[in-house]
Amino acid sequence: MNAIDIFTIAPFLNDCPQCGHGRVGTNEKTKEFHGTLDVGDTLYTRTCRCGFEVTIDTKDGVTKESVQKKIEEALEAYKTPQEKRWVLDVEDVNTIDELKKMGIVSYVPKMMDDLVFVKTSMTKQELLDIPGVKSCRPESVGSIFV
C-alpha cells in the first residue's frame, strides 16, 4: 500500500469509530481480543472488539471525504441487524448444547471444547447475556470458521 494512503486513512481508524477503542491485537497475558488492522496492497481493514468492521479499497484513490463516507457506511451497516460470525468462549458442553438448540452454532472445534463458532444477528451484549458464555469476539479473517 502507498504510504500516503496510510497517512490519509490512519487518523480516521486509529480509534474505533463506533466505540472509541484504540487497541488492536490480542493481549498475550489475558487473551483479551482488541481488534485487527490488516493492510494489504490495496485494502485497509480495521475491526474492533465491539464488532465494528470497515474495509477501505485504495485502488481508486483515497481522500479524506472518501474515507469518511466509507466509515459512515460501515457505521450504518453496524447498526443494521445482520448475521455476523463470532467466536464464543464457553464454560462447558452444556452451554454448547444450549447454543445448538438456539440454532446459531456453525462449528465446534474438536480439540477446543471451550470455543464455539456461531453466526447470528445477535449483538455482542446479547451473546454475553447467554448463561455459560464467558466472552465473545468477532471472528477474524483466516480463522477456521466453516
Q: What is the pLDDT of residues 119-139, one digit of tens each?
A: 888 888 889 999 999 998 887
Q: Check whether 57 has a pLDDT greater than 60.
A: yes
Is residue 18 helix, strand or coil? coil
Q: Check whether 142 has a pLDDT greater than 50.
A: no
pLDDT for residue 111: 62
Q: What is the mean pLDDT of residues 86-113?
A: 83
- The pLDDT mean for the chain works out to 85
pTM for this predicted structure: 0.56
Rounded Cα–Cα distance for residues 25 and 23 (Å): 7
Write down all domains in the chain, each with its CATH number in brackets. 3-79 (no CATH), 84-138 (3.30.70)
33 in Cβ contact with 65 (< 8 Å): no
